[in-house]
Amino acid sequence: VSRFRFRLMYLLGKTRWDSGITPPEVVEAFEEGEIPPGTALDLGCGTGTNAIFMAQHGREVIGLDFAREAIVRAKRKARAAGVADRVDVRVADVTRLARLSLPPIAFALDIGCFHGLPTEGQQRYASDLAQLMTPGGRYMLYTHDPDEARSANFGISQEDVRALFSEAFTITRQEHGEFRGGGTTWFWMARRT
């Protein structure tokens, strides 16, 4: 999905994913103490719900999204939540991570961004993220399965995710689910040491 389309969806409020609720999988990971201390990165952070959640759990958070409209709202929400000093949200392209001079990342979160990227962008994202992550760092990724009915390049298969990440990451857990009639997968990964 193009940047233009995402910006338009935020302008028009056609953002059904923007529920304002952090998924239970993420809440659980933080509450069970599975997330190492250090900087957290939210890739495709949207209006910042999960970046703010992570800041409230004591993390310094960097949130990236290429839709300016989403970042403006994320900044406003972080100020309202009193965590603006710990949430650094930026208009940026997640397929160009190496350009951003980011600090080492202990935890990365991607809810619904990766599966919509062009293949070449997915490859660059995967290798740049592996470079950024500290050994033993955790990565949680939520994807939609391919859906030809929606668009030829919507979604990603579990096999393709494995192929892109398994050299640098151990996939510690994987759960398939369903959302509004389509298949989805949560992946839990750890950066190999």
Residue 141 to residue 188: CA distance in whole angstroms? 7
Residue 116 binds ligand SAM (CB under 6 A): yes
CB of 109 to ligand SAM, least distance (A): 8
The 119-148 site mask, x for binding ligand SAM (CB under 6 A), equals ------------------------------
Q: Pick one of 52, 67, 71, 129: the residue that binds ligand SAM (CB under 6 A).
A: 67
Which of the ranges 38-46, 80-88, 175-183, 184-192 carries the binding residues for ligand SAM, by CB under 6 A? Answer: 38-46
Residues 147 and 182: beta-carbon distance below 8 Å? yes
Q: Take residue 129 and report the two structure tokens written for it.
A: 């993220």
CB of 152 to ligand SAM, least distance (A): 17
CB of 77 to ligand SAM, least distance (A): 11
DSSP track, 86-115: TEEEEE--GGGGGGG-PPPEEEEEEESSGG
Which of the ranges 88-96, 128-136, 154-162, 177-185 carries the binding residues for ligand SAM, by CB under 6 A? Answer: 88-96
CB of 70 to ligand SAM, least distance (A): 5
Residue 95 binds ligand SAM (CB under 6 A): yes
Of 84 and 91, which has the nearer Cβ to ligand SAM? 91
Residue 5 to residue 154: CA distance in whole angstroms? 14
Its sign, for the CA torsion 113, 114, 120, 126, is positive
Which of the ranges 25-33, 54-62, 64-72, 163-171 carries the binding residues for ligand SAM, by CB under 6 A? Answer: 64-72
Residue 25 to residue 188: CA distance in whole angstroms? 10
Backbone angles phi, psi at 45, to 5 degrees: -75, -10
Residue nearest ligand SAM (C-beta atom) = 44
Residue 44 to residue 42: CA distance in whole angstroms? 6
